[in-house]
Every structure is written in structure tokens, then in C-alpha cells.
Amino acid sequence: MSQNLTVAVVGATGAVGREMLKTLHERKFPATQVRAFASARSAGSKVPFGEGELTVEELKEDVFAGIDIAIFSAGGATSTTFAPHAAQAGCVVVDNSAAWRMDDRCPLVIPEVNPHALDKHQGIIANPNCSTIQMLVALKPLHDAVGIKRVVVSTYQAVSGTGQKGIEELERQVRDLFNGRDPENKTYPYRIAFNVLPHIDVFLDNDYTKEEMKMVNETVKILEDPSVRVTATCARVPVFFCHAESVNIETVKKITAKETRILLSQAPGIKVFDNPRELLYPMPAYCIGEDPTYVGRIREDESIENGLNMWIVADNVRKGAALNAVQIAEELVRRDLVRVPDTTVFA
């Protein structure tokens, strides 16, 4: 295990960056020094870390010398520009943006699902999309046990997935509506308060959105199985935190709902919360700040021979971003992979 680790959080002033710092401290990550970076306009400001604060440093190309792991949550453009400089300096990057997810040089990792992918990292590791993470934490045990042929997923995604501006827009619009004012749409094309938008990210040529195709493509890459077919519909709902997903699964072999509950209750990172007679099922309002991926409404799909339905909820800022990134960093330490190979393709 590496000693005397220096860890940096890039994008430390954002909602996810702050959650990353909080998670590093809460999980007692074995770092002797933690540094916070953001853009020039945030340099000199303070961000919370444990009982104290860190002074935010300006992100520049030459700041990575002496840093062992840098966890990025500063957007795709920043990651595209600065992550290769970090790898060249010998710093392992765990990137939360979409910039490197489908790059063949970069492992796309959920520690409960495919930690082995870290073994061949070249200095940049991608954190999957938040919706993909919680879905695959729940699907991987099923895929290993009975095989998955097809997945149909509909997401109900919180506004925090858009960042602080999404949270502020929902809050502002609710206040406006209650006070008889017409709400202004700044972040979303339509009002999000008391509404549902069946549209996340940009539309592509196939009329799916980029968010929907992320779930399709990332699932195949992470499971390393192109035979798994995925189709997705992603919607934005007026909820502040936690994404929910309705997932329909067609398996290769038959598995009952009872067997599924037992299987998932024994799997890492999952909490089965499922008792219809007691009205027990996961809900976003009750999963905020929680580490596990919650699974409920497990039942057999009676329209096909080998089918299951389930309802999956997780905190998108926590497990969907910050926690997964920190878990990747922990796995790097555990596997003694806190180093960039001399043969890195990013040099």
C-alpha cells in the first residue's frame, strides 16, 4: 500500500467537489495531504474539509507534480485539458465528467462491479454516469447469476444532476409559483417545478438523448458484454436529490423475485428495501446522503418468461458521483496502483 499520499480534488467549489471532500474525510481516506483546486476566480476562497477548511488553489497545467491522485469534478472541457497533464506528471486521475468514459484507453469503473478494470489503467480512470452506476450496482449480481439479455430503464432524475444551478432553479420556481409570479426558465427549456421533462442532455440523430445513450454504451463497456441490450428513457423530475429508476430486465435463466431479493441483499453496495404489504420501497426523499443503492418493488414480469421489474434509488451526488470516485481511489490504494505506468498513452 502506498504511503504519504497527496490527494487533490479538482472542481472543489462545486456541489460534487464539496461532497468529494466530505467523503474523503468521512471515510478516513489515507492521505497525508488533501488539496483543493478550482478556476482562477475561486482561487483563495475556502472550502470545508473535516473540522477545518482548505484554501482553494488555481488549477494550472503544472500543479500536479507531487500529487498522487486527483479526483476531477470540473466538467468535460476542464478534464480534457488538464487530465493528460496530470497523468504526464505521474498523478492518477479519477474523472467524474463524460470526457473519458468511452475512451478505450480509460477504464470505466464501479468498484462493486468491475474493480479489475483498474489493473490496466494508464493514468486516467473514468467515473460512470450517475444513472449507470446505480443501475449496474443492482444488475451485476443478476448478470453473474443468471445472465441478462435485455434492460429497459426509465429514469426519474433529480435536479442536482444538473449541479447547483438545477437546485437553485427548482427552488426559485417553486417560490415564484407560490407567490403568484411567473417562473423564469434559465437552466431548463421548460419549467421544472411541478413538472416532468422527458429530456436530459442534448438530442442525438437517433432521437435519443445523450444521457440515454450514455446508459446504453456505458453498460456494455462496464459489463464487458456487448450481448446485453439496453434501451433507456431519461426524465428530469422536480426532486432535489436522488435519482430513481424503473428497470425491466429479461434474463437468460429464470430467477424468481424471492431469489432476487436474497441475491441482492448479499451483494456489495446494495440495500434491499422491499415489502409491499408494509408499503416499504425506496424513495428519493429518504435516501439523501446515503451510501447504498436501494432496491425495491422486485417482482416478476408476467408478460415474458424470464423477466423482472425493480425500482432503484440512490443519491446521485453521493454514490452517483463523489462516493464512487473515492471508492475508486480506495481501490487504487488497496491494489497498490497509485502510479502512472511509464508507458502511459497520455505522456
Contact 12, 56 (CB under 8 A): yes
Query: Would you place residue 341 in the very low, low, confident or very high pLDDT band (cuts 50, 70, 90)?
Result: confident
Q: Compute the average pLDDT of residues 148-167.
A: 96
pLDDT classification of 342: cutoffs 50, 70, 90: confident
CB 308 within 8 A of CB 252: no
Least Cα distance to 321 among 153, 164, 97, 150 occurs for 97
Please, what are the domains in the chain?
5-128+322-334 (3.40.50.720), 131-316 (3.30.360.10)
Confidence bin at 1 (pLDDT 50/70/90): very low
| Residue-level pLDDT at 117 | 98
User: What cell does 195 get?
Assistant: 413538472
Residue 287 is a catalytic residue: no
Tell me what the mean pLDDT of segment 71-75 comes to.
95
**Nearest by Cα to 160 from 97, 235, 243, 39:** 243
* Average pLDDT taken over every residue of the chain: 96
Query: What would you report as the CA-atom Rg of the chain, rounded to the nearest whole angstrom?
Result: 20
Task: Output the pLDDT for position 309.
Answer: 98
Q: Residue 208 pLDDT > 50, yes or no? A: yes
Is residue 2's pLDDT more than 60?
no
Q: What element of type H or E holds 152?
A: strand 148-157
pLDDT at 3: 67
Q: Calculate the alpha carbon distances from 100 to 26, 96, 205 in Å.
A: 27, 9, 21
For residues 10 and 74, the answer to whether their CB atoms sit within 8 Å is: yes
* Residue 244 pLDDT greater than 60, yes or no: yes
Region 251-270: what's the mean pLDDT? 98
Mean pLDDT of 235-239: 98
> Is 242 tagged catalytic?
no
186-198 residue pLDDT tens: 999 999 999 999 9
Confidence at residue 189, expressed as pLDDT on a 0 to 100 scale: 97
- The enclosing H or E element of 72 equals strand 69-72
Catalytic residue among 130, 234, 242, 287: 130
CA distances from 28 to 21, 48, 85, 326 (A): 11, 15, 28, 11
The predicted pLDDT at position 4 comes to: 87
State pLDDT tens for residues 271-329: 999 999 999 999 999 999 999 999 999 999 999 999 999 999 999 999 999 999 999 99
Express each pLDDT in 86-105 by its tens digit.
Answer: 999 999 999 999 999 999 99
- Residue 48 clears pLDDT 60, i.e. is over it: yes
Contacts of 88 by beta carbon, 8 Å cutoff, 6+ apart: 123, 344, 346, 347
